[in-house]
C-alpha cells in the first residue's frame, strides 16, 4: 500500500487545498441478440440492480456536478491553432456541400432541422474520438442530465445493466408503482429499440438518455423477453421519479447491511443517515453492497470514503500532461467495525474507487466477482451557450498505484451468484458468504 508520503517523494506538490492536492508533472513524464438470452448471470432481483433509468451515467466517474467554462489560452495541441485547422476553407465548403445535398435530395425534406444538423456535427466531432464516455450534450440533454444528479428525473422507474458481450442493455430491476411496473416490464427484458431506433451498441447512459424526458411525455420501447417468440411493444408515459441511492437493514447477529446504488448529490447525506440508523440499532459489523453500482460523482464517493478509510490517499488522477491530483482522507472517521464489500461485474467507476481503496488498505474483504474495470474520469465542460461536453480528462489510480481500466478489481473471495437459488427462494449466496466472513471477524475481535 502506497502512503501519502511515498507519493510525495516522486513528484513535488505545487498546490494544496483541503483534501485535494495537485502536483506538477515530472519531466520524464454485433453479436446476435439471442446470445444475450443465454448467460445472463446476475441482476434478476430489484435489490441487486444498479442504474435507475434517467439517473446517473452508467460506469461514470465525473468531476463534480459543477460545470466549468472552457477557454483556450494558447495555440497548443488543444487550442486556437487546432480549431483553425479543423475549420479551414475546404472543410467548411465540404460541410456546406453535404448540407445542401441533404436539403435538395433527402426524401423527407420537412423533417430536416438546421439545429439538429448542427448538433449532429458537434456530436460527430466528439464521437470521432472513439470514446463511448465522451459526449456532446444539447441544451435539453444537459438539463436532463443535471436534474438526474440531483436525484429526481422524468423516467419510467426501471433499472438498467449492460451486457458487454451482446451489446444490448437489459432491465435489471423495476421499481414499484412506476410506469415500468404498470406496463408489465420485467427484470431480464432486453431493450431492443427505443422509439423505433435500435439500442444495439449503446452505452447504458445513452439508453437512459433516450428513455428519460419531461414528465408526462411518452416513450416507446421494443423489448425482447426470454421465452417469447415475438417482440414486445410498450408505450409508457414518463413520471417524476425520485431515486433513493442508499438503503439499509439489520441482519442477525448485529450485522448491518448497507447498499449504495450510485453516487450522486444526495448520496452522501443518505449514507450518513443510514449508517447512523444502523449504528443506533446496535450494528457491530457492516456489509457494504456495491453490486450493480455504475458509479457517479467523484467528490461524492470521496466524501463517503472519508467516513470509512484511514488517513491517506483515496484515489489520484493524472491528465494528458501528467498533472496529478490526489484525493485524501484525514482518517478522523475510520470505520472501527468489521467490513465486507459486495461487488460484481456491474460495479463500475466510482464504486471501484471505493472498493479499490478498501482493498488496498486491507480494511475489509471484497466478495463476489471481478468489477467492471472503468478507470477513467470525465469532466462536464460548459460551452457557454447552454450546451456542454462530457469529456474523458484523466486516468485514476487506487492508493497502491493501480489503474484498473479494462481490468477491474478481483475480489478477495470469488463467489458467482447462484441465480437459480435467488429466483427460487431469494437466497443470495454472495450475501451469505459476506455474513460468514463478518461473523468470523467479529468472533476474532472478542
CB-CB neighbours of 248 under 10 Å: 23
Residue 196 CA to residue 208 CA, distance in Å, equals 15
Alpha helices in 150-187 (DSSP H): 179-182
Catalytic residue positions? 349, 360, 374
Q: Do 358 and 308 touch, CB atoms closer than 8 A?
A: yes
Across the strands, what pairs with 342? 289, 367
Residue 441 CA to residue 435 CA, distance in Å, equals 10
Going by their DSSP bridges, the two strands 324-329 and 312-318 should be labelled as antiparallel
Q: Does an H or E element contain 326, and which?
A: strand 324-329
Q: In terms of Cα–Cα distance, which of 290, 375, 395 is closest to 339?
A: 290
Whats the size of the chain, residue-wise?
A: 446
For residue 110, the SS3 value is helix
In the chain, the N- to C-terminal Cα span, in Å, equals: 27
Residue 350 CA to residue 376 CA, distance in Å, equals 10
Residue 61's region, left for phi above 0, alpha for psi from -120 to 50, else beta, is beta
Say how far residue 153 (Cα) sits from the centre of its chain.
Answer: 16
Amino acid at each position: 500500500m502506497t502512503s501519502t508520503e511515498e507519493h510525495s517523494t516522486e513528484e513535488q506538490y505545487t498546490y494544496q487545498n483541503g483534501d485535494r492536492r495537485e502536483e506538477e508533472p515530472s519531466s520524464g513524464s454485433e453479436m446476435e441478440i439471442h446470445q444475450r438470452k443465454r448467460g445472463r448471470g446476475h441482476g434478476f432481483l430489484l435489490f441487486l440492480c444498479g442504474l435507475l433509468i434517467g439517473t446517473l451515467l452508467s460506469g461514470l466517474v465525473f468531476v463534480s456536478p459543477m460545470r466549468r467554462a472552457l477557454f483556450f489560452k494558447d495555440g497548443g495541441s488543444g487550442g486556437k491553432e487546432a480549431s483553425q485547422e479543423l475549420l479551414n476553407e475546404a472543410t467548411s465548403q465540404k460541410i456546406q456541400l453535404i448540407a445542401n445535398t441533404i436539403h435538395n435530395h433527402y426524401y423527407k425534406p420537412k423533417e430536416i432541422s438546421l439545429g439538429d444538423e448542427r448538433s449532429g456535427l458537434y456530436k460527430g466531432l466528439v464521437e470521432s474520438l472513439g470514446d463511448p464516455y465522451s459526449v456532446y450534450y444539447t441544451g435539453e440533454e444537459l438539463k436532463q442530465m443535471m436534474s438526474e444528479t440531483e436525484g429526481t428525473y422524468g423516467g419510467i422507474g426501471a433499472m438498467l445493466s449492460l451486457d458487454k458481450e451482446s451489446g444490448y442493455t437489459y432491465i435489471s430491476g423495476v421499481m414499484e408503482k412506476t410506469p415500468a411496473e404498470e406496463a408489465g416490464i420485467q427484470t431480464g427484458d432486453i431493450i431492443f429499440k427505443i422509439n423505433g431506433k435500435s439500442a444495439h451498441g449503446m452505452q447504458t447512459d445513452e439508453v437512459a438518455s433516450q428513455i428519460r424526458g419531461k414528465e408526462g411525455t411518452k416513450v416507446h420501447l421494443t423489448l425482447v423477453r426470454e421465452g417469447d417468440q415475438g417482440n414486445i411493444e410498450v408505450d409508457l408515459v414518463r413520471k417524476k421519479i425520485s431515486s433513493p441511492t442508499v438503503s439499509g437493514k439489520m441482519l442477525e447477529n448485529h450485522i448491518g447491511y448497507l447498499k449504495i446504488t450510485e453516487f450522486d448529490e444526495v448520496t452522501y447525506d443518505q449514507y450518513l443517515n443510514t449508517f447512523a440508523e444502523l449504528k443506533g440499532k446496535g450494528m457491530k459489523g457492516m456489509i457494504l453492497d456495491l453490486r450493480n453500482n455504475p458509479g457517479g460523482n467523484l467528490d461524492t464517493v470521496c466524501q463517503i470514503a472519508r467516513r470509512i478509510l484511514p488517513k491517506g490517499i483515496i484515489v489520484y488522477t493524472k491528465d494528458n500532461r501528467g498533472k496529478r491530483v490526489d484525493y485524501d482522507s484525514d482518517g478522523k472517521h475510520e470505520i472501527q467495525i468489521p467490513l465486507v464489500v459486495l461487488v460484481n461485474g456491474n460495479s463500475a467507476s466510482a464504486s471501484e474507487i471505493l472498493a479499490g481503496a478498501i482493498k488496498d488498505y486491507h480494511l475489509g474483504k471484497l466478495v463476489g466477482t471481478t468489477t467492471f474495470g472503468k478507470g477513467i474520469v470525465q469532466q462536464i465542460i460548459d460551452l457557454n451557450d447552454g450546451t456542454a461536453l462530457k469529456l474523458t480528462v484523466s486516468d485514476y489510480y487506487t492508493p497502491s498505484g493501480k489503474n484498473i481500466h479494462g481490468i477491474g478489481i478481483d475480489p478477495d473471495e470469488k463467489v458467482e451468484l447462484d441465480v437459480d437459488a435467488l429466483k427460487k427462494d431469494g437466497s443470495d449466496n454472495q450475501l451469505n458468504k459476506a455474513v460468514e466472513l463478518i461473523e468470523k471477524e467479529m468472533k476474532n475481535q472478542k
